[in-house]
């Protein structure tokens, strides 16, 4: 059946831009609440009070006559995933300037600590037409690479209008996220049609993008670039030294609970107390996901009568210290190399889980909660290889940790299986760089 028309234009094409207009008006109306939220978050994380101008496109102009590659990574996880890609881009295109934007202070801090002045870094502008116009007129990007699935209708529209190709790299789309996008198909469909390429982690992610309206010619299934992290000798040696320090003369075992969220720390501590009945000298390395929770988690430990030492204090834990609080930024990858067993957070609460691949790269047996929709494919591979076990509660965590500490051969088999998954799934980064090179050469 033919679509009705207005002035010979199908109604569907008249309605879709109007949906984005309504979205934009709503976004402008919400800006006061966004400002209030920044102020609220700045109570515990003062960096949220700074650099507001960047969020509205007031950034330094780029005057250099050189190619500009814009990489957008919303926060820490996406930023860390983008590091190998950015380093390869800098190597392949030494004449180009890489612009890296984030949305959070923690992501910003990681960018600055890793790359320093070798890249141009600012906060990304809010998805407002005036902020985006101002931003784009000042950096003049030749290409935008969006990490994972941080899709903004106006950002993509304005890049399309200026003939700036947009690639969604390492793209993932859970069933839950796909349903959310489907509810706003008036925004989602035209946005997807303006993308040049979606480089999906897995065929399931790709199928969900296609179901939302992405054209097959826009889709490439490249794999997960988080498998392509390489451990150099420097970090291996540093991890070995750290592990020796934490073990001490008594060779105490080390259990790492990484990237925990509110509600998970209590479960981990409950499990830890059960484990201590069998291994009283076990060192728990507890690393909250967000810096503003460091003090809160320290108080949780102290309230249980546990002796806590903080990583930021730069002291070596003694045998009388039960918990080492990982209250620094940028050291988690190192911690995975210094532990015997690793639990990855965001999975006992419905956050969707965090990076399961990092402990696997270090041959660490991987423990996780059941909420893994952000890492569904990696978790499937690790479970099938028997390199990871899902634990529903504190009792299950304690039972598994005790079992693996008692059976070192079983722990080694589990760690080796996790490492084999990491090794066997490399190659996504080369495929992604091929897509980027094609867009840059043809633009």
Q: Using 50, 70 and 90 to split pLDDT, how confident is the model at 10?
A: very low
Indicate if 274 and 410 belong to the same structural domain: yes
Give the pLDDT confidence score for residue 27 in this predicted structure.
95
Give the pLDDT confidence score for residue 280 in this predicted structure.
96
Is residue 32 included in any domain, yes or no? no
Is residue 265 included in any domain, yes or no? yes
Give the pLDDT confidence score for residue 299 in this predicted structure.
97
Q: What is the pLDDT of residues 144-198, one digit of tens each?
A: 999 998 899 999 999 999 999 999 999 999 998 999 999 999 999 999 999 999 9
Indicate if 166 and 85 belong to the same structural domain: yes
Q: What is the pLDDT of residues 232-246, one digit of tens each?
A: 999 999 999 999 999
Q: Using 50, 70 and 90 to split pLDDT, how confident is the model at 45?
A: confident
Give the pLDDT confidence score for residue 18 in this predicted structure.
85
pLDDT at 2 over 80: no
Q: Using 50, 70 and 90 to split pLDDT, how confident is the model at 65?
A: confident
Indicate if 418 and 435 belong to the same structural domain: no
- State pTM to two decimals: 0.87
The average pLDDT across 258-278 equals 97
The residue range of the domain holding 402 is 233-424
Q: What is the pLDDT of residues 101-144, one digit of tens each?
A: 999 998 999 999 999 999 999 999 999 999 999 999 999 999 99
- The CATH number covering residue 419 comes to 3.40.50.2000
Indicate if 341 and 401 belong to the same structural domain: yes
The three-point CA angle 97-114-122 to 5° equals: 50
Indicate if 135 and 242 belong to the same structural domain: no
Catalytic residues: 78
Is residue 20 included in any domain, yes or no? no
Strand partners, 5: 10
The average pLDDT across 76-83 equals 89
- The CATH number covering residue 218 comes to 3.40.50.11720
Indicate if 174 and 252 belong to the same structural domain: no
In the chain, the percentage of residues whose pLDDT exceeds 70 is 96
Is residue 36 included in any domain, yes or no? no
Give the pLDDT confidence score for residue 4 in this predicted structure.
37
Q: What is the pLDDT of residues 343-365, one digit of tens each?
A: 999 999 999 999 999 999 999 99
Is residue 104 included in any domain, yes or no? yes
Give the pLDDT confidence score for residue 49 in this predicted structure.
93
Indicate if 291 and 409 belong to the same structural domain: yes
Indicate if 248 and 360 belong to the same structural domain: yes
Q: What average pLDDT does the chain have?
A: 93
Is 358:333 a contact under the CB 8 Å cutoff?
A: yes
CA distance 311 to 302: 16
Is residue 277 included in any domain, yes or no? yes
More confident residue, 341 or 443: 341
Indicate if 196 and 254 belong to the same structural domain: no
Number of domains within the chain: 2
Is residue 15 included in any domain, yes or no? no
CA 281 to chain centre: 33
Indicate if 281 and 363 belong to the same structural domain: yes
The average pLDDT across 220-239 equals 94
Indicate if 420 and 432 belong to the same structural domain: no
Is residue 35 included in any domain, yes or no? no
CA 125 to chain centre: 19
pLDDT at 53 over 70: yes
Indicate if 166 and 262 belong to the same structural domain: no
The three-point CA angle 50-52-166 to 5° equals: 120
């Amino acid at each position: 059946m033919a679509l009705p028309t207005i002035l010979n234009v199908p109604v569907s094409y008249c309605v879709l831009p109007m949906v984005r207009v309504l979205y934009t008006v709503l976004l402008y109306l919400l800006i006061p609440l966004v400002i209030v939220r920044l102020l609220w978050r700045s109570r515990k994380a003062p960096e949220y009070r700074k650099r507001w101008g960047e969020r509205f496109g007031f950034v330094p102009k780029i005057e250099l006559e050189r190619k500009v590659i814009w990489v957008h990574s919303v926060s820490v996880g996406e930023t860390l995933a983008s590091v190998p890609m950015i380093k390869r881009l800098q190597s392949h295109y030494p004449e180009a300037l890489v612009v890296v934007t984030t949305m959070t202070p923690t992501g910003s801090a990681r960018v600055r600590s890793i790359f320093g002045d070798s890249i141009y870094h600012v906060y990304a502008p809010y998805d407002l037409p005036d902020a985006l116009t101002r931003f784009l007129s000042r950096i003049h990007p030749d290409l935008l690479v969006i990490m994972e699935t941080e899709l903004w209708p106006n950002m993509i529209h304005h890049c399309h209008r200026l003939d700036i190709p947009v690639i969604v790299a390492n793209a993932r789309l859970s069933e839950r996220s796909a349903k959310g996008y489907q509810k706003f198909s008036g925004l989602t469909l035209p946005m997807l049609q303006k993308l040049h390429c979606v480089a999906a982690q897995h065929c399931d992610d790709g199928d969900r993008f296609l179901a939302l309206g992405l054209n097959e010619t826009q889709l490439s299934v490249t794999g997960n670039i988080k498998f392509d992290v390489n451990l150099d000798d420097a970090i291996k040696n540093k991890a070995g030294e750290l592990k020796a320090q934490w073990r001490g003369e008594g060779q105490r075992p080390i259990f790492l609970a990484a990237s925990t969220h509110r509600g998970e720390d209590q479960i981990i501590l409950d499990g830890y107390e059960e484990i201590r009945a069998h291994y009283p000298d076990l060192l728990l390395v507890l690393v909250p996901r967000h810096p503003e929770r460091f003090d809160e988690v320290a108080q949780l430990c102290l309230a249980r009568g546990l002796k806590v030492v903080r990583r930021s204090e730069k002291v070596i834990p003694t045998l009388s210290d039960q918990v080492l609080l990982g209250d620094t930024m940028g050291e988690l990858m190192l911690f995975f190399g210094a532990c015997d067993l690793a639990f990855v957070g965001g999975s006992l609460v419905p956050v969707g889980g965090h990076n399961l691949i990092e402990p696997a790269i270090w041959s660490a047996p991987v423990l996780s909660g059941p909420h893994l929709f952000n890492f569904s494919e990696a978790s499937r591979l690790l479970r099938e290889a028997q390199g990871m076990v899902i634990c529903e509660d504190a009792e299950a965590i304690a039972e598994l940790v005790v079992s693996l500490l008692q059976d070192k051969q079983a722990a080694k088999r589990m760690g080796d299986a996790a490492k084999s998954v990491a090794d066997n799934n490399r190659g996504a980064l080369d495929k992604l760089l091929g897509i980027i090179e094609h867009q840059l050469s043809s633009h």
